[in-house]
Amino acid sequence: MAYKGFFPVPGIIKELKRSRVIELAPDVWMLEGFLGDQFLTAPPSSNIYILRDGDTLVLLDTGTYPFYRETIKKIIRRYKNEGIKRLILMLTQGHFDHVANNDVILEAGIEDVRFLLPEPEVPVIDLRGHWLGDFKKLEEYYNPYSFFPLDPLTAPIRAAGVVSQGLARSLLKTSFSVLFRGIRTLVERAEILTLESRKKKTFGDVELMGWEVGRFFAVHDATHSPGHLSLYDPENKLLLTGDATLEINPAFFDSSIDRCIEMSAKFMSMAEQDFIRLAADSHRSSIFMPSLFEKYGAEPLAPVQVADMAQGKDECVTFYALFESYYTQLKDETLTALNRLGSATVAEVVEELEGSTNPSVTLKKGLRFPNFPSRMDVLAATVLKEAGIKPRKEGSRIVFAGTGGQAGG
C-alpha cells in the first residue's frame, strides 16, 4: 500500500517531476521533496536522504508520494550491486510526509533491514491518534477547532465554536482517516531506541544526546516532535536537521519552541567551531521555496533560507543563527503580546500578533493554514505552556495572565 490521500491531485506528477536527485557529498544523496500551498489536498513531501557507511545504507525519511519509491529503490539497487549488505531506515520524525513510503524497505531486495525508531516518537507515528491527541491537549488552552477549517471537506468545523467539541473531534477523526489512507508505517517492525540507551557526544563545547549508528550520530533534539532526530555525519561535516529548522514550528502542541531555540544555538556553535560545513533539512528547496515565498509575500530572512543547503562554515553559521533568531522572536513577540493585553485568551493573543510588524512574525503570518501547516494558535499556546503560564477559566473563556514585563530573548 502507499499514500492515497483524499483524492488524486491533477497535475501533481508534473510537479513531483521537478524534484531533483542531488549528491550532497560522496555517497550522500538527497531526493528532493515537494512543497506546495495545498497542505491537506496536495501535502508536502519531505526530502529523502540515502547515506552510505561502508557496507550499510541509511535511508532517512521516505516522503509522501509513491512517485519517489522507484528512485529510492534504484539507488539502493545500485549500492547492493556494489556490495551493500544491510539497510537501516531512520526517521527525523513520525509525521506522515516523512513516513508514507516506509514499506519501500520491504521491496529493496536487501535481506538485512532494520528500522530504528526513538521511543518518544512511537505515539507520533500513530498518525491519526497523534493528531487527535494533540487537539485534545490543546482543548485545555482554547478551542483549536475554530482555527482549523477544512473546507470544502469538513465545512461544519467552521461552526466548532457553537457545536460540541465532540462533533468537531468526530469530523476531524473522519478527515484524518481519509488523509492518511494507504500509509503503512511499519511501526510493528521498528526497533525502539530507548531514552536510557542514548549516549552523550561532545563537539567542541557542545554536548548532544543521541544514538550512534555506524559513523553517524542521530541527535535526539526533541524539537519539531518529542522524538525528533537530526543526523550528523562527521566524515562530511554534514548535519541534516529534519524539521528542527523549519518556518512552521511549532507545528504541534508537542513541538517545543524552547528546544528549537536551544538546538539552533547548539548547531550554530558547532558550525562556528568548524564541525559543520554542510547543512540541509527536510524541506529546504531552491526549486519550490522561492516561488512560494513570492506568492505569499513572505520575505526571506536571509538568502540561505531559500537555497537547497548551506555550504561552508560561514553560511552554516548564518543558517542556524537565522533560525535561533526566528524562533526567539516568535516566542518574545507572543509573550509581549500577552503582556500588552494583561489578561487574554489564545485567540486574543493571536489577534494581537496579527498587528505585529516584527519580520519573524510577518513571515509566520505569511505561511497561513490551510495553505501551509503553520498555525499561529499553536504558536501562542505552545509559548504559553513552555513559559509556565497556566490557563484559568473565566466563565466560558480560558484566559492567561501576563507577567507585566517585557519578554526576554
Domains belonging to the chain, first-starting first, are 12-126+182-326 (3.60.15.10)
Q: What are phi and psi of 3, to 5 degrees?
A: -55, 135
In a 10 Å sphere around its CB, with 0-12 CB exposed, 13-18 middle and 19+ buried, how is residue 335 labelled? buried
Q: Sign of the CA dihedral 92, 98, 104, 108?
A: negative
pLDDT per residue, tens digit, the chain (409 aa), is 689 999 888 899 999 999 999 999 999 999 999 999 999 899 999 999 999 999 999 999 999 999 999 999 999 999 999 999 999 999 999 999 999 999 999 999 999 999 999 999 999 999 999 999 999 999 999 999 888 765 544 455 555 454 567 777 888 888 899 999 999 999 999 999 999 999 999 999 999 999 999 999 999 999 999 999 999 999 999 999 999 999 999 999 999 999 999 999 999 999 999 999 999 999 999 999 999 999 988 889 999 999 999 999 999 999 999 999 999 999 999 999 999 999 999 999 999 999 999 999 999 999 988 899 999 999 999 999 999 999 999 998 999 998 865 555 4
The residue count for the chain? 409
Cα–Cα distance between 155 and 158 in angstroms, integer? 6
Q: Are 160 and 145 in contact (CB under 8 A)?
A: yes
Query: For 141-180, b where at least 16 C-beta lie within 10 A, e where not — what string?
Result: bbbbbbbbbbeebbeebbebeeeebeebbebbeebbeebb
pLDDT tens, position by position, 90-131: 999 999 999 999 999 999 999 999 999 999 999 999 999 999
Mapped onto helix, strand or coil, the DSSP state of residue 168 is helix
Q: Report the alpha-carbon angle 267-272-275, nearest 5.
A: 70
pLDDT tens, position by position, 152-183: 444 555 554 545 677 778 888 888 999 999 99
Q: What letter represents residue 185's amino acid? A: T
